Structure 1
Amino acid sequence: MVYNTDMDKNHVTLGILAHVDAGKTTLSESLLLHTNVIRSAGRVDNGTSFLDNDPLERSRGITIYAKNARIPIGDNEVILIDTPGHADLAAECERILPVIDMALLLVSAPDGVRPYTKTLWDLLRKEHIPTMIFVNKTDLTEKTQSEMTKDLEIHFGSGIISFSDKDFFENVASTDEVLMDRYLDAGLEAEDIRNAFNSCTVYPLFFGSALRGEGISEFISALENYILPPAYLPPKGGDFSGIVYKISHTRDNKRLSFMRVTRGTLKVKDVLGEEKVNEIRIYSGEKYTTTGSATEGDICALVGMKSTHAGSVFGDCSGRPRTVFAPALSYTVRYPADVDKTKMLNILREIEDEETTLAVRYYEQTGEIFISLMGDIQTDVIKHTLKERYGIDVTFDNGIVCYKETIDMKTVGVGHYEPLKHYAEVQILMEPLARGRGMEYSSDVSEDDLDKNWQRLILTHMQERDHPGVLLGAPITDIRLTLVAGRSHIKHTEGGDFRQATYRAIRQGLMKLRESGYVHILEPYYNYTLKLPENCVGQAMTEISAMSGTTEIVNTDPTELIVTLSGRAPVSEMNDYASKVRTYTKGRGELTLSLAGYDLCHDEEAVLAASDYSPESDLDNPTGSVFCSHGAGTTIPWNEVDDHKHIK
């Protein structure tokens, strides 16, 4: 059965995250079973689970796509979002973060905290998302709950409180002086626990076995009594706002935009941007019901939207989060000779619509198509999608590094678009941000100067794409874009005019900074851990230094004569280092890599010299603006736009 959304219940979204094989989907099945949403729990390994319904998921026994289910708990409808556990598919997991109210992080009792588990924890802390922890598969370990709790505290820090401990009220109180005073004075109430959780002061801890159904009832009871709102809270009302977190296509090729309504109400036939909502679906597993409206807090799928993307925002809600998980390597796509190049490019762009990290690019000089991939699992997913959906077999050549671009000086970019019977001008302040912040967007324009609807549209255009840089044409990052001026024409301005003006403003600002040497290339770096024999340490440190990497000795095992090194190095230098380690350590070395993010390119001059990109020849991304002269549109080059701008 499908649990139909209830207008008189609070919509609370719970994201379930974990390292692969920790048991996320099994836990989701058990929660659905214990709340009477399903009559019997499916098995991931048998391909019968309620949520993993894609054929590839069922054949491989893994979660590939984030999907949701609904369970009733008290006056709340809890929307579970089950996410992939493979690091290759981390971007799918990351996209749900702006739409969840809280997270449940699973840890496998036999495996403990894995590197990717710690990465997820750090990401949840960075985004200030209230988090619970469920230690799963406790039937497969001999560790005590106390030992497992201490291990979690070593990796995650303080505030982790076992709710299975009979003294957990006192333990919660110990995390905060105010709570302790209240506890000693009159004791804690459930609302105190709830507030401590929502403020990320306390991280409730649970133990159990999802496969055996152990600890599930206790978890649900704690959710109802101490975590979720205790009673129905009517929506606050106000203008509609929402954020799109996922795009998918049905088997009959209907495009679905999955959205969280963050305020107000969305109705069928409402217009978002320039498009009409034709249908609103409420999904639970692969089944859905249609509804005439979706209210504050709900997760829905919209039919009829063609230009949305993961991260699209409507109304006054926060923009897309910075991207942490992004591919470090790009691959040439090799496809059959009888497949037309334009057709292949269009097909890949359709898939990119769902998986934005693919970053499909076509190089006219060579006629080659490139896409970015996170690893072997994602590579298999893309191959499977192309074969099953389009009947095309593809292979990929060896990867090349995915670069990005940034700035280290502020400027104002001006974009003007005024062919005959069109008009828009946009001025955008561009400021550098700290490394790893990603892109940020805002408006500093009075509604007296530019209507609020036009401002929202400009902000949408700022966020709707990865804007190309002007050194390599690589995506820009770590920049704050602020709308500081804009002008429309009461008769001639159309929605698309502001898209043109916005894109051109960003390009013009980048060109001004490029001319002064304030645009730079960023490259991906790995964090690495290298375990190797003591007699190989000198060679390793010398070679890693030559890679422009850093090295630190973090551990020495005198009994095994094994040394552990850690540090950071460019992906371009270390990507093939594992095979070399195996050779010079005679198979005793072990190299573990994880993406550390982007930083300044260690050999920028060489990368620039190897590139033939010309921003002024990039006709798809013009740097100049179009002004009206003598009744016709005239293109003005970027370095003359400031002299022609209308807003002084």
Structure 2
Amino acid sequence: MHTVNLGILAHIDAGKTSLTERLLHAAGVIDEIGSVDDGSTQTDSLALERQRGITIKSAVVSFVVDDIAVNLIDTPGHPDFIAEVERVLGVLDGAVLVVSAVEGVQAQTRILLRTLRRLGIPTLIFANKIDRRGATYDQVLQGISTKLTPATVPMGRLRDPGTPGADFTLFDGADAEFTTRATEVLADHDDGFLTEWLDAGTALPHPRIRRELAAQTKRALVHPVYFGSAATGAGVGPLIAGIRELLPTADGDANGPLSGTVFKVERGPAGEKIAYARMFSGTLHTRDRLRFRGDDAEKVTAIDVFDRGAAVHRASVAAGEIGVLRGLAGVQIGDAIGESRPGTTHRFAPPTLETVVFPRRRADLGALHLALTQLAEQDPLIDLRQDDVRQEISVSLYGEVQKEVIQSTLAEEHGIDVGFRETTTICIERPTGTGASVEMIGKGGNPFLAGIGLRVQPHSGVDFRLEIELGSLPSAFVKAVEESARETLLQGIHGWRVTDCLVTMTYSHYLARQSHAHGTFDKSMSSTAGDFRNLTPLVLMSALQESGTEVSEPLHRFHLELPADALGTVLPVLARLRAAPGTTTMRGSSCLLEGEIPAARVYELQQQLPGLTRGEGVLDSAFDRYEPVRGAIQARPRTDRNPLDRKEYLLRLRVAGR
């Protein structure tokens, strides 16, 4: 039996969780369809998911279509949880992108299809809610073509849209509408097919068009479009047939070298880690040992594999399958099982907001840190920052809804009541020039038995290089300097993470291992890795001060659709929010405005937009790049020992060493 690992993606409220329920029901996995409103669906298991009717965590279910096993992964639609979607993309064979036939293409829909196309993930488009008042056919197809991609092929016709009896029937070989549209789109992406069509001098046979459609869909060149209703089941049968015919099945050799990826980690009832992994090659067995980092290998104690809607115990999980693994206490999201695979970089922008989380009861501070650490294991982009001086913990965010999720999770799962400070924007620092600093043993108040010279300069990415003679410094000391330098760059002169910086070690000196006569090793006479680790922040920050740094803030590119007569009202607001409008395209009584806006002002624009546009404005924004801050530079409170203040830094080191 072949396997397809299928992602269901959509803008919030487009109906993807309801579609998941309908697919499971159509395949005979469940007898009764659950309701998002009632909180009875198979994939929304968190209390907050059931309360709010939104998906927060990805969930895996399965069903069988003829000889194909489908592992279906339901993903969040709210943009605040885009990191959860990101982790799923790397394990998919194909995707279904759900669009509302009432609202049409929405902001998150654009971001998702752009990403799916960039990654080459074969995708079908399903226009849901054809039974709802306001559902359309031509307008939705036009919106998909103009706002998403023209490389689409409608797969059938819609009858009685906007009524409870709305239905969708597939085109067949006699439909000239399908033949013409499909042939033109397919010819745009394959010169050989174009030549075949021109040589024929007439319409190509329907089976030939279907074969080419399947081939190009599997190469993510074109996207078949289906219509239907998850509520009534209309159009779901044709969609299932499309999944079977048009999407590729998982490849990979079950007897090949072991290779897989962990894309989700959660905690079981007893607090144990449970890892979800997609296998790309080889077979993983219970009692096999895996090494993720360091020298210690961990044993897989149990494996579940998804089969017809349920996770069942198996002795192994093979290439193409998704397994639920237990016994791996040190596993983290993104870990490779066996051989690592290329292309595991972020598909979406990192979070650009952060806030301080504080316990309502001071006595819960320690428990809060432990609980947030566990949450960060399940969502690495939470990125905790512990400030021991102020006794504060900061977390990074994509948006305000994440606060509610964190607050609810901490209360329900850990019994901790928390509050939040004001959300702030995460900036970065970049060196603006070249700076250098040197500390020598026994000179200039250097209390460490280490000599270090470092030079910093602008660079693409963060890198560490050596200009000292190879072998002149023990490798353990070099490693200590590099690790300390990278850690120090997490907080630059203004407290922000330093990026695009090359650190070069230009000088080194150490005292070889020594001891008193007939005595044991004496670290007061000999250099240690700790000497180099502790001296590095002082040298590096001194070099950064000489080079200077520029603070940059995240900038979003936005697309704003609004009534044409509201443009004059919106433009002054955009100016006040420091947005830079770009091109304006008129579309009858509406217009599309594109431009750039600081990430810090996006939420404010979202809040004001309904009142400015009579509720008709649609905003789509996504991180684009970092730009230098204009005006006053906001400093970020430091959470380290503050190597910018030599006296304070050395004092804290002494206190910590007692």
**TM-score bracket for this pair, using the shorter chain length:** 0.7 to 0.9
Kindly provide the amino acid, as one letter, of the partner of residue 215 in structure 1.
Answer: G
Q: Name the SS of the counterpart of 1:252 in structure 2.
A: coil
* Post-superposition offset of 1:614: 6.3
Q: For 2:413 and 2:281, locate their aligned partners in 1 and report how far apart those are by CA, in whole Å.
A: 36
Counterpart in the other structure of 1:262: 280
- The TM-score with structure 1 as length reference comes to 0.73
* Post-superposition offset of 1:358: 2.0
| Match among 231, 247, 271 for residue 265 of structure 2 | 247
Q: For 2:358 and 2:283, locate their aligned partners in 1 and report how far apart those are by CA, in whole Å.
A: 46
| Match among 189, 192, 198 for residue 212 of structure 2 | 192
Structure 1 position 178 matched with structure 2 position 192: yes
Kindly provide the amino acid, as one letter, of the partner of residue 275 in structure 1.
Answer: A
Q: Name the SS of the counterpart of 2:633 in structure 1.
A: helix
Kindly provide the amino acid, as one letter, of the partner of residue 626 in structure 2.
Answer: D
Report matched runs for 1:578-617 at 5 Å: 592=619, 594-603=621-630, 606-608=633-635, 611-612=637-638, 617=643
Counterpart in the other structure of 1:50: 42
User: 1:143-193: CA deviations, max 9, x gaps?
Assistant: 653443222101122220122233356355433331233456575275533
* Post-superposition offset of 1:30: 1.4
| Runs (5+) with no aligned partner, structure 2 | 157-170, 173-177, 436-455, 464-482, 504-529, 650-658
Q: For 1:212 and 1:364, locate their aligned partners in 2 and report how far apart those are by CA, in whole Å.
A: 56
Flag the 1:113–1:575 CA change in 2: closer, same or farther, 3 A: closer
User: 1:300-344: CA deviations, max 9, x gaps?
Assistant: 122122333222234131253325254332112231234242222
Report matched runs for 1:156-167 at 5 Å: 156-164=148-156, 165-166=171-172, 167=178
* Post-superposition offset of 1:24: 0.6
| Match among 334, 358, 361 for residue 334 of structure 1 | 358
Q: For 1:158 and 1:264, locate their aligned partners in 2 and report how far apart those are by CA, in whole Å.
A: 39
| Match among 297, 301, 304 for residue 275 of structure 1 | 297
| Match among 399, 403, 410 for residue 375 of structure 1 | 399
Kindly provide the amino acid, as one letter, of the partner of residue 247 in structure 1.
Answer: V
User: 1:405-427: CA deviations, max 9, x gaps?
Assistant: 5679999xxxxxxxxxxxxxxxx
User: 1:516-536: CA deviations, max 9, x gaps?
Assistant: 748654422234548699799
Kindly provide the amino acid, as one letter, of the partner of residue 305 in structure 1.
Answer: L
Q: Which moved further from structure 2: 596-605 or 349-358?
A: 596-605
Q: Which moved further from structure 2: 178-187 or 380-389?
A: 178-187
| Match among 289, 293, 311 for residue 288 of structure 1 | 311
Q: For 2:231 and 2:91, locate their aligned partners in 1 and report how far apart those are by CA, in whole Å.
A: 28
* Post-superposition offset of 1:118: 1.0
Q: Name the SS of the counterpart of 1:280 in structure 2.
A: strand
Q: For 2:565 and 2:20, locate their aligned partners in 1 and report how far apart those are by CA, in whole Å.
A: 46
Q: Name the SS of the counterpart of 2:311 in structure 1.
A: strand
Structure 1 position 571 matched with structure 2 position 599: yes
Counterpart in the other structure of 2:520: none
* Post-superposition offset of 1:16: 0.6
Flag the 1:478–1:37 CA change in 2: closer, same or farther, 3 A: farther
Q: Name the SS of the counterpart of 2:246 in structure 1.
A: helix
User: 1:3-25: CA deviations, max 9, x gaps?
Assistant: xxxxxx22321111001111111
Q: Which moved further from structure 2: 89-98 or 218-227?
A: 218-227
| Runs (5+) with no aligned partner, structure 1 | 1-8, 412-428, 434-438, 442-460, 482-499, 624-648
Counterpart in the other structure of 1:644: none
Kindly provide the amino acid, as one letter, of the partner of residue 568 in structure 1.
Answer: E
Q: Which structure has the larger Rg? A: 2
| Match among 330, 338, 341 for residue 307 of structure 1 | 330
Aligned-pair RMSD on alpha carbons? 4.7
Kindly provide the amino acid, as one letter, of the partner of residue 569 in structure 1.
Answer: I
Q: For 2:142 and 2:573, locate their aligned partners in 1 and report how far apart those are by CA, in whole Å.
A: 37
| Match among 215, 235, 239 for residue 253 of structure 2 | 235
Kindly provide the amino acid, as one letter, of the partner of residue 421 in structure 2.
Answer: D
**Structure 1 contact 94–325 (Cα < 8 Å) conserved:** no
Q: Name the SS of the counterpart of 1:568 in structure 2.
A: strand
**Structure 2 contact 124–224 (Cα < 8 Å) conserved:** yes
Q: For 2:488 and 2:630, locate their aligned partners in 1 and report how far apart those are by CA, in whole Å.
A: 24
User: 1:339-373: CA deviations, max 9, x gaps?
Assistant: 24222211111111112222221222322221223
| Match among 119, 122, 141 for residue 114 of structure 2 | 122
Report matched runs for 1:64-463 at 5 Å: 64-141=56-133, 145-164=137-156, 165-166=171-172, 167-168=178-179, 170-171=183-184, 173-175=186-188, 176-182=190-196, 187=205, 188=208, 191-229=211-249, 235=253, 237-268=255-286, 269-273=288-292, 274-276=296-298, 277-283=300-306, 287-314=310-337, 315-405=339-429
User: 1:171-225: CA deviations, max 9, x gaps?
Assistant: 5543333123345657527553332112222111111111111111112222223
Kindly provide the amino acid, as one letter, of the partner of residue 22 in structure 1.
Answer: A
User: 1:562-600: CA deviations, max 9, x gaps?
Assistant: 9875421223456546678899x7999969473424413
Q: Name the SS of the counterpart of 2:90 in structure 1.
A: helix
- The TM-score with structure 2 as length reference comes to 0.72
**Structure 1 contact 51–286 (Cα < 8 Å) conserved:** no
* Post-superposition offset of 1:605: 7.3
Q: Name the SS of the counterpart of 1:311 in structure 2.
A: coil
**Structure 1 contact 513–519 (Cα < 8 Å) conserved:** no
Report matched runs for 1:495-510 at 5 Å: none
Q: Which moved further from structure 2: 10-19 or 513-522?
A: 513-522
* Post-superposition offset of 1:40: 2.5
Kindly provide the amino acid, as one letter, of the partner of residue 174 in structure 1.
Answer: A
Q: For 1:283 and 1:30, locate their aligned partners in 2 and report how far apart those are by CA, in whole Å.
A: 18
Q: Which moved further from structure 2: 30-39 or 369-378?
A: 369-378
Question: What is the aligned residue count?
Answer: 555
**Structure 2 contact 493–644 (Cα < 8 Å) conserved:** no
Kindly provide the amino acid, as one letter, of the partner of residue 601 in structure 1.
Answer: P
Kindly provide the amino acid, as one letter, of the partner of residue 120 in structure 2.
Answer: H
* Post-superposition offset of 1:235: 2.1
Kindly provide the amino acid, as one letter, of the partner of residue 344 in structure 1.
Answer: L
Structure 1 position 10 matched with structure 2 position 2: yes
Flag the 1:537–1:57 CA change in 2: closer, same or farther, 3 A: same
Q: Name the SS of the counterpart of 1:297 in structure 2.
A: coil
